[in-house]
Amino acid sequence: MSSTNLADFRDQYIARASTLLKSADLAQANINTLVINGALFGALDKVINAPLIGRDTLALFDAMTSADIDVWLTDASHRSVWQRLCSDEAKTIQVALQDDVLRPKLLGSALAWEDIMASSVMQTWIQTKAAYLVPYIAAIPGCLTLTVASRTTMDKFASVQAAMTLIYASTNWLNAVAANTPAQDAIGASLTALRELAKSSVAMTALYTKLTTIMAYLFADATASLDAWNFVSSEITAGRTAMPTAFFADAGIRNALHGNTGISTAMTTTATALYQWLFTNKMTVVQRNYNATTAQQGAGIGGKFLTLAIAGTYNSTAGNFYLISTTTQYTATPNGSTSLTLTTANKQVGSQNGAMYFTDVSTGTFYMSIGYLAI
């Protein structure tokens, strides 16, 4: 049969030439037959080892679909040549990926795209063209799945602000990222990606359930965390509490919040709705009775915390009462004439690894309520 492309020619030639050479009786051959078979053997070797695609032959894919390319690449020799092309002739592939005809064929071939992503030369180029490739990859489900599952490739995308802006605006990309841990890890490792995420309400809404892989990283960064915190506050103001509930149920996020001075300021000044929601829904109250003494006494929280409120009443004959945490000392006058009030006015952010305690120079009793968000 006639060949329809170079691959068909190669396979047919190898089969025919091999048959002829195997049937030759060299012991009985004359000099002409020996020369002819020797030439045929040399030609067969060249055909077997000749690259089937290159600068002049990449057009072979023009006549193929993505499925045809996948089938073609299942041939080990074809695959080897393609892989070498991705590394040694990468500019040829780069041109093809910017061609409106060849690009969808290559992106739609799982084997072709896997080898492109496996090439360090192509990875460098992908980073320079990340924003360009984002919409095309999003349009092909198989290619999108392969891409977000590749940590190396996603690291390249995550370092490009324009690419992440497009990714966060794409439902297809967000769904794929939400289903792939490597993509989430790449975002978490890139301040560029985190800060773009915090600016996007669409992306925040889509990805906030991926707490341990993305959000803890986000709240650990001062710049990204403030944008994210404002978004969480706006959710509460709007009466939507699913997101903040998920946030404060996650130990990683709570730990990231602690020590973030920007969040501390927002907690105690601007984020009234968020703070009130915490005060109402997440506060843990500990109540204790103590005998007044000059020694430090108290109930240890034993870890980091956000103090939401403190209330106290007491009965003593002299001296002042002091309730002391790492960052704040609360003072009350004797005989219960002044009491700390359980309101959001007493809020503070601090760290308490030992006991909170009080001290008094007199005798008597003290009743205390501490409201706090434990971290």
Note whether residue 305 is domain-resident: yes
pLDDT at 284: 66
pLDDT at 109: 96
pLDDT at 354: 42
- From first to last of its 375 residues, what are the pLDDT tens digits of the chain? 555 556 667 778 888 888 888 888 888 888 888 888 888 888 888 877 765 555 555 777 888 899 999 998 998 888 888 888 888 888 889 989 999 999 999 999 999 999 999 999 999 999 999 999 999 999 999 999 999 999 999 999 999 999 999 999 999 999 999 999 999 999 999 999 999 999 999 999 999 888 778 888 888 888 888 888 888 888 888 888 888 888 877 777 777 776 676 776 666 665 567 767 777 777 666 555 555 444 544 444 444 455 555 555 555 444 444 444 444 444 444 444 444 444 445 455 444 444 444 444 444 555 555 566 655
Tens of pLDDT, residue by residue over 109-166, are: 999 999 999 999 999 999 999 999 999 999 999 999 999 999 999 999 999 999 999 9
Note whether residue 274 is domain-resident: no
Note whether residue 306 is domain-resident: yes
Note whether residue 297 is domain-resident: yes
pLDDT at 193: 96
Note whether residue 202 is domain-resident: no
Tens of pLDDT, residue by residue over 182-209, are: 999 999 999 999 999 999 999 999 998 8
pLDDT at 197: 95
Pair 80, 51: CB distance under 8 Å = no
pLDDT at 271: 57
Pair 260, 217: CB distance under 8 Å = no
Note whether residue 363 is domain-resident: yes
pLDDT at 257: 72
**Taking Cα atoms as reference points, which of 287, 290, 346 lies closest to residue 315?**
290
How many distinct structural domains can be found in the chain?
2
Please report, for the domain that includes residue 291, its CATH number.
2.60.120
The structure's pTM equals: 0.69
Structural domain containing residue 324: 284-374
Note whether residue 26 is domain-resident: yes
Quote the Cα angle for 82-85-91, to 5°: 135
Note whether residue 353 is domain-resident: yes
Longest CA span, the chain: 129
242-268: burial string, b at 16+ Cβ within 10 Å, e else: ebbeebbebebbbebbbebeebbebbe
Q: Which tokens in the block code for residue 78?
A: 């074809």
